[in-house]
Chain A
Amino acid sequence: SSELTQDPAVSVALGQTVRITCQGDTLKNYFASWYQQKPGRAPVLVIYSKNKRPSGIPDRFSGSGSGNTASLTITGAQAEDEADYYCNSRDNIASLLVFGTGTKVTVL
């Protein structure tokens, strides 16, 4: 099955911008979604269809992508954005859903 690779951890100063990337061949054919997960909580969808935000998600979250890479950008990071972030998409060949390896975002 396909793999989606993310950097294990990134840090960002309060109010600054951070970009989280997700790489995998399947992203050449399928959009990525992004999830935020805080400790002890269920994941929350923050981006789908590469760049669409569900209602209630702040507009400081944005998605983009090109080729085999998808990105989640937090513009003006807040303390409450400190969390684990996962990308996901479908497998390139089989009818499977694949999650990325996850990125821990620390807001300094």
Chain B
Amino acid sequence: EVQLVESGGAVVQPGGSLRLSCAASGFAFDDYTMHWVRQVPGKGLDWVSLITWDADTTYYADSVRGRFTISRDNRKKSLYLQMDSLRIEDTALYYCAKSQDGSGYFWWDGLDVWGQGTTVSVSS
């Protein structure tokens, strides 16, 4: 079964740090670009970051660039998001998701596998 399972969400104070993990199974993890997407309950989807299959390229949303770092370990079939200098507005459910495109060129063309999310709450 193709599956993504996130973990690491917690309650943290503003200015704090957190590391999210996403464990993949059931597909060739090292062939695909992976993403983090977040969602405030009751609000829309908000893309956070992506990393190409070989970790050679990473992109970030303007709102997190310089504070968040995406990484992956293909041997462990795992995706990570290091979140530093957290702000109250980073509070959300964080999903990891897989690009459906295996070529790497069309990383934006559909995210076909999603985890169930892990909750990050930034509060004093």
**Residues of chain A with a CB closer than 8 A to B116's CB:** 42
The answer to whether B10 has its CB under 8 Å from any CB of chain A is no
A38 to chain B, nearest CB (A): 12
**Contact partner of B45 among A1, A31, A95, A99, CB < 8 A?**
A99
Contact A43 B45 (CB under 8 A): yes
CB atoms of A30 and B114 under 8 A apart: no
Is B14 close to A, CB under 8 A?
no
The answer to whether A17 has its CB under 8 Å from any CB of chain B is no
Q: Which of A81-105 contact B (CB under 8 A)?
A: 86, 88-90, 95-102
CA distance A98 to B61 in the complex (A): 9
B95: chain A residues at CB < 8 Å are: 42-43
Count of CB-CB pairs between chains A and B under 8 Å: 63
B62 in the interface (beta carbon within 8 A): yes
Q: Beta-carbon contacts of B104-117 to A below 8 Å, as 1s and 0s?
A: 00101111101111
A49 within 8 A of partner (CB): yes
Question: Given A48-B100, A97-B108, A43–B50 Cβ distance below 8 Å?
Answer: no
Cα(A14)–Cα(B111), bound, Å: 28
Interface size class of B (residues with CB under 8 A): 20 to 34
Q: Are B114 and A43 closer than 8 Å at their CB atoms?
A: yes
Tell me whether A48 and B110 are in contact (CB under 8 A): yes
A54 within 8 A of B: yes
A30 vs B108: C-alpha distance when bound (angstroms): 9
Contact partner of B112 (CB less than 8 A), chosen from A45, A88, A100, A102, is: A45
Report Cα–Cα, A30/B101, bound state, in Å.
14
Residue contact A99 to B47, C-beta cutoff 8 Å:
yes
Q: Closest residue to A50 on the B side, CB-wise?
A: B109
Which residues from 50 to 66 on chain B have a C-beta closer than 8 Å to any C-beta of chain A? 50, 59, 61-62
B46 within 8 A of A: yes
- Residue-wise interface mask of A (2-18) relative to B, using a CB-CB cutoff of 8 A (1 in contact, 0 not): 00000000000000000
Known: A42-B95, A42-B116, A48-B100. A33 touches B44 (CB 8 A): no
Chain B interface residues toward A at CB < 8 A: 35, 37, 44-47, 50, 59, 61-62, 95, 97, 100, 106, 108-112, 114-117
